[in-house]
């Protein structure tokens, strides 16, 4: 696996099967599909509302204006088919210690179970390490077996910290030294 920056210094990370790179505006449809597929236990602000928001146009706008989509949560593109299947990257949620980022990932259901989240996460860990980060966090619902398994596979361990929501489940705080 390699990581680095392209000529215009956009982040581009590469693995055997994947490229992780900034989102393109036209790929807002993929983000909308991720929103529609979310588990009903995910909190309402992360699900499509009764009026259909966020719309594709709103997500396009977000890709244009929010740096998160160019240098944080990167589009995961399959090299063989050139399709974008979700995101993986780093985000500052403010839930870790100052300056410590969270690993986050989400993929379209049709590609689950092929090791893509694990492969993408490993190159993001390399990226974080080479950018000078010493520790990352990841939060995960206790019921999210697949995500917990991915985090365990790439070396995250559970901490004592938990947030209990009686309706939605418990958020587990996991961490990994780089």
Ligand X SMILES: CC(C)(COP(=O)(O)OP(=O)(O)OC[C@H]1O[C@@H](n2cnc3c(N)ncnc32)[C@H](O)[C@@H]1OP(=O)(O)O)[C@@H](O)C(=O)NCCC(=O)NCCS
Q: Quick one: which segment of 8-16, 64-72, 111-119, 164-172 binds ligand X (CB under 6 A)?
A: 111-119
Q: Which two tokens stand for residue 8?
A: 């215009």
Q: Quick one: which segment of 8-16, 20-28, 57-65, 103-111 binds ligand X (CB under 6 A)?
A: 103-111
Which of 79, 110, 149, 177 contacts ligand X by CB under 6 A? 149
Number of residues in contact with ligand X, rule: CB under 6 A? 17
- Euclidean distance between CA atoms 107 and 117, whole angstroms: 7
116 binds ligand X (CB under 6 A): yes
107 binds ligand X (CB under 6 A): yes
27 binds ligand X (CB under 6 A): no
75 binds ligand X (CB under 6 A): no
90 binds ligand X (CB under 6 A): no
Beta-carbon contacts of 47 under 8 Å, excluding residues fewer than 6 positions away, are 35, 38, 40
- Euclidean distance between CA atoms 96 and 135, whole angstroms: 9
Q: Which two tokens stand for residue 69?
A: 């989509």
105 binds ligand X (CB under 6 A): yes
- Side by side, the strands of the sheet bearing 135-141 are 2-5, 11-14, 18-21, 73-78, 84-91, 102-107, 135-141, 169-177, 157-165
Q: Which two tokens stand for residue 144?
A: 């999210």
Binding residues for ligand X, rule: CB under 6 A, are: 105-107, 112-118, 140, 144-147, 149-150
């Amino acid at each position: 696996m390699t990581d680095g920056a392209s000529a215009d210094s956009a982040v581009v990370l590469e693995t055997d099967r994947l490229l992780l790179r900034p989102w393109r505006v036209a790929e807002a449809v993929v983000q909308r599909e991720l929103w529609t597929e979310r588990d009903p236990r995910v909190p309402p602000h992360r699900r499509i509302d009764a009026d259909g928001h966020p719309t594709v146009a709103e997500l396009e706008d977000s890709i244009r204006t929010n740096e998160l989509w160019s240098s944080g949560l990167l589009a995961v593109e399959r090299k063989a088919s050139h399709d974008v299947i979700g995101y993986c990257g780093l985000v500052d949620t403010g839930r870790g210690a100052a300056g410590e980022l969270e690993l986050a990932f989400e993929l379209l259901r049709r590609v689950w179970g092929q090791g893509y989240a694990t492969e993408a996460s490993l190159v993001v860990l390399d990226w974080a390490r080479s950018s000078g980060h010493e520790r990352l966090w990841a939060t995960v619902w206790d019921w999210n077996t697949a995500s917990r398994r991915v985090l365990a596979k790439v070396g995250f361990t559970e901490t004592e910290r938990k947030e209990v929501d009686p309706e939605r489940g418990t958020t587990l705080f996991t961490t990994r030294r780089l």
